[in-house]
Amino acid sequence: MANRKAKSTIREFPLIQRLARRFAREAPGLVQGIGDDAAVVEPASRIWWHVTTDLLAEGIHFDFNSASPRSVGYRAAMANLSDLAAMGATPRYMVVSVAIPKTLKSSHIVGIYSGMMKACRRDRVALIGGDTSASKAGLFLNITLLGTTPTRKALFRHGAQVGDLIYVTGTLGDSLAGLRLLMPTHKTYRSSKSRIVLSRSHQRFLIDRHFHPTARVAEGLWLNRERLATSAIDLSDGLSGDLRHLCESSRVGAEIEPEKLPISAACRAYGKAAGSSPVQLALTGGEDYELLFTAAPGSRAKIERQAHARGYRVTCIGTIRSKRFGIRMSSGGNSRRLPITSYEHFH
Amino acid sequence: MANRKAKSTIREFPLIQRLARRFAREAPGLVQGIGDDAAVVEPASRIWWHVTTDLLAEGIHFDFNSASPRSVGYRAAMANLSDLAAMGATPRYMVVSVAIPKTLKSSHIVGIYSGMMKACRRDRVALIGGDTSASKAGLFLNITLLGTTPTRKALFRHGAQVGDLIYVTGTLGDSLAGLRLLMPTHKTYRSSKSRIVLSRSHQRFLIDRHFHPTARVAEGLWLNRERLATSAIDLSDGLSGDLRHLCESSRVGAEIEPEKLPISAACRAYGKAAGSSPVQLALTGGEDYELLFTAAPGSRAKIERQAHARGYRVTCIGTIRSKRFGIRMSSGGNSRRLPITSYEHFH
């Protein structure tokens, strides 16, 4: 919110002020938006505030050679929306900091902000403040998002119990498959054979899932409101990594059935074309921004009935086990430890 | 709050998790700190939340050649605390994002966090979340700070009325003088004459004011609680720039009396030694993190009596005029427009 400027003032800084004012809207509870030392918010009583932040760096999380500025902004906002979805929270206010290299075109800045605001529009999130800096190398984008739930009603990572069912929303691995399609140097995909096997519509689907993921805000709100989930996390690192986070927080183990993992037809086709295992894509692919949640076995019928009625896709992929059991995949009588993997972003 | 990692994982990332856990403390109203998709806060009823954010970039706002990691962290936190001070708010929760180049030593990270937490300790601000990224070039540090006031009680920029008195806390220009002392290439200071004229204690004072500014949180809370100020802003860009921001928000002009500007003995001595005008240092020097506020003339006696009793330094430096009057300096019957200047950070 400070108006601090580096001497090496960048032409785009007034542009950002204009953009911020253009996107700043009246919002319920907002007392003072952009233009003072801090934004001011008057919350309803009996609520919890949820605060999440994500920092994205050019050359680490994105690259303007393969991603449009609009999709960079969109995905940055979605990453934060997804964190709030995993808390079962209603997203409300956004604060954006951006460090801008001199070489960046102003059209890129407009694109980034347009993308962010596009992602926010569905949930009516208001841009209430931010800061701007020059950058000697590369763009940095930091978003802080504030959301609310009723008091004592939120989806934490730490509530999973032994015997709970493990669910995911949507399909897994699409974003990673889309990312690989975008890499011209990816060997397995450069073979002429694979080009023939994977249809254009499958390619479009996977690339769109990479550039335009959908935070499962409605699903998180539903699970929280109906008290259907015992714990939840969003899939930003990939199932393998994020299931581990959830199990560590809940001090439990987990047993996953790989044949139950929801994998799209496009991802299956990509796996076939590229010679990759779709299960491996589903386990290690990050940035799907689906929700991973656990539920008491007694909630199964209600979850599946309500999800169907609402048009939400949820799939039971396994069961919470004791901590001693570890985190394992079981298939056809065989069981093996889930490998520890970390998601590869663009790099 | 996401656990997202770049594949080029940096050794320091686990270090940051350890630091975050070390500094994360129980805090009033904190339901869930670091370790979930979002931090969760249960506010008292009838409060306003104040949200501010600051992004600092290596090579733009600081340089590890002239500043210790500890002072970088300290000043970053102070910049945010100062924004909340200018709202009259109690600072409560901090969220920190940091992008780390591979070359950075882990001792630097420890230093930055130690400095941030030192700045937060006085006001018992709790670190509740953050994010970490690799950086291809230079360190980036983004802090978001949340604070509270009672509802309908805050110091906005937009409340100044024609006829109000203009006050500042503390002394002005010290931070800029200290910054210039740190620049070995600064011509006016390299003359052997100046080295003789400026005492070591003055040098120490000015450099300390640059590296360890004090956000006027107590003064802001006092002005807000007692409803003594009609508007306020913190001096991060320098008086000349920040007075302009306040006047624009309030749609008024201002008349400053330069001889009234509070200038420390050290800053005066520096001005003499370096051949710089202390008034110019006071007008253009940013990062003093003093408060600039306005008050009705009828509050004068109360402000000055209470400030004296509490040991706060406040100085009346001018009067709010009509918008048409503009922003002017008047001295000995002469009046001239206040030049538009922007603060030079480290560069």
Give the pLDDT confidence score for residue A343 in this predicted structure: 53
Q: Does the pLDDT of residue A189 top 60, yes or no?
A: no
pLDDT reading at B3 higher than 60 = no
Give how far the C-alpha of residue B321 lies from the chain's centroid of Cα atoms, to the nearest Å.
26
Looking at residue A7, its pLDDT comes to 33
Q: What's the confidence (pLDDT) of residue A185? A: 59
Whether the complex's predicted ipTM surpasses the cut of 0.90 = no
Instruction: Tell whether A296 lies on the interface with B, counting CB pairs under 8 A.
Output: no
| Superfamily of structural domain B157-337 | PurM-like C-terminal domain (3.90.650.10)
pLDDT beyond 50 at A57:
yes
Taking each helix axis as running N to C, give the angle between helix B69-85 and helix B200-211, from 0 to 180 degrees, rounded to the nearest 10. Answer: 70
pLDDT in tens, B242-264: 999 999 999 999 999 999 999 99
Q: Would you state the CATH architecture of domain A157-333?
A: Alpha-Beta Complex (3.90)
- pLDDT tens digits, B274-302: 889 999 999 998 889 999 999 999 999 99
Would you tell me which residues 21-80 of chain B have a C-beta closer than 8 angstroms to some C-beta of chain A?
A: 31-32, 35-43, 45-61, 79
Q: Helix count (H) and strand count (E) of chain B?
A: 12, 13
Mean pLDDT across the stretch A304-314? 97
Query: How far is CA A188 from its chain centroid?
Result: 27
- Which of A90-99, A136-145, B2-11, B55-64 has the lowest average pLDDT? B2-11
pLDDT of residue B7: 33
Predicted model pTM: 0.88
B308-314 mean pLDDT: 97
Average pLDDT for residues A82-92, to the nearest whole number?
Answer: 96
Is the minimum CB–CB distance between B219 and chain A shorter than 8 Å? no
Average pLDDT, chain A: 88
Please provide the average confidence, as pLDDT, over all residues in chain B. 88
CB contact under 8 A, A56 and B140: no
Chain A residue closest to B131 (CA)?
A54
Q: Is the pLDDT of residue B60 over 70?
A: yes
Taking contacts as CB-CB distances below 8 angstroms, the residues of chain B near A128 are 51
Chain A hits for B144, Cβ within 8 Å: 51, 53, 95, 144
B residues 117..156 contacting A (CB < 8 A): 128-138, 140, 142, 144-147, 151, 154, 156
Residue-level pLDDT at B187? 47
Cα angle for residues A37, A16, A18 (degrees, 5° grid): 90
Q: How far is B157 from chain A (nearest CA, A)?
A: 6
Q: Which band of pLDDT confidence, cut at 50, 70 and 90, is reported for residue B347?
A: very low
CATH 3.30.1330.10: does it fit domain B12-150?
Answer: yes
A-to-B residue pairs, Cβ atoms closer than 8 angstroms: 294
Contacts of B237 in chain A (CB under 8 A): 2-5
Given CB atoms, is A265 within the 8 Å cutoff of chain B? no
Please name the helix (run of DSSP H) or strand (run of DSSP E) that holds residue A336, with its range, or none. strand A334-337
pLDDT, position B26 = 73
Cβ of B4 and A343 within 8 Å?
yes
Domains of chain A, by residue range, sit at 12-150, 157-333
pLDDT digits (tens, 9 = 90+) for B324-336: 999 999 998 899 9
Lowest-confidence region among A11-15, A73-77, A78-82, A238-242: A11-15
- Among A115, A121, A142, smallest CA distance to A131 is for A142
Q: Say if residue A237's pLDDT is above 80.
A: yes
* Interchain proximity B137–A136, CB inside 8 Å: yes
Task: Kindly state the percentage of chain A with pLDDT values over 70.
Answer: 90
- Residue A328, pLDDT > 50, answer yes
Contacts of B58 in chain A (CB under 8 A): 136
The DSSP H or E segment spanning A229 is none
DSSP character for A297?
G
Q: Which of B171-180, B189-198, B207-216, B313-322 has the lowest mean pLDDT?
A: B189-198
Beta-carbon separation of B45 and A45 below 8 A: yes
Residue A112 has pLDDT above 60, yes or no: yes
